[in-house]
Amino acid sequence: MKSKRLWMAIKNKKQSDVIWDSDLKIIQLEDAADLARLMDVAYQGTIDHEGETIQECEAEMLSTMSGKYGPFVQKASCVIFKDNKAVSACLITIWKDQPLIAFAMTDPDYQGQGLAKHLILKALDQLAKESYESLYLVVTDGNEAAQSLYYKMGFKELGEALPKQPPPFFEF
């Protein structure tokens, strides 16, 4: 049985304190294998792991970048590499006319360092430049680490996410 998923959203404002570092790069199609490995290690043993193989993870990354969840926003989608290994990534799409965090994932060995927060702030900064007023995501209810991060960042819970339904209107 799949776990309940929840919509969350945050009002967007320019995040001028976002710092680029040499380990952060804009995601390219050729990063799919690195992102698949990251997805595999980040999801293993979590409420979000559904038994995907590394090949299925790579197919999911490629299909996300090819429009499965709406147009891929490359300028707002970044990955952080440490020692030539993808350790955190955030992929942004436009789904049902709204910016969506399609995936935010961090290698367990690098969690707690603020990498996901940094990537989400970078995405918000880029989306603000493109005049988007909010950022949505879907989180699995019970993914305590992710929910905690999103609440601390100011995301608000909007209710249950139902398949193929657009995000609920978010009042600021």
Instruction: Please state, as a whole number, how many other Cβ atoms lie within 10 Å of the Cβ of residue 164.
Output: 5
> Is this model's pTM higher than 0.75 or not?
yes
Using alpha carbons, list the distances in angstroms from residue 66 to 29, 59, 60, 82, 107.
Answer: 9, 10, 10, 26, 24
What pLDDT tens digit does each residue of the chain (172 aa) get?
468 999 999 998 765 555 556 678 999 999 999 999 999 999 998 888 888 999 999 999 999 999 999 999 999 999 999 999 999 999 999 998 999 999 999 999 999 999 999 999 999 999 999 999 899 999 999 899 999 999 999 999 998 888 777 777 666 5
Strand arrangement, sheet containing 156-160 = 24-26, 78-82, 85-95, 98-106, 134-140, 5-11, 156-160
DSSP state of 110: G
Q: Which domains does the chain have, with CATH numbers?
A: 5-160 (3.40.630.30)
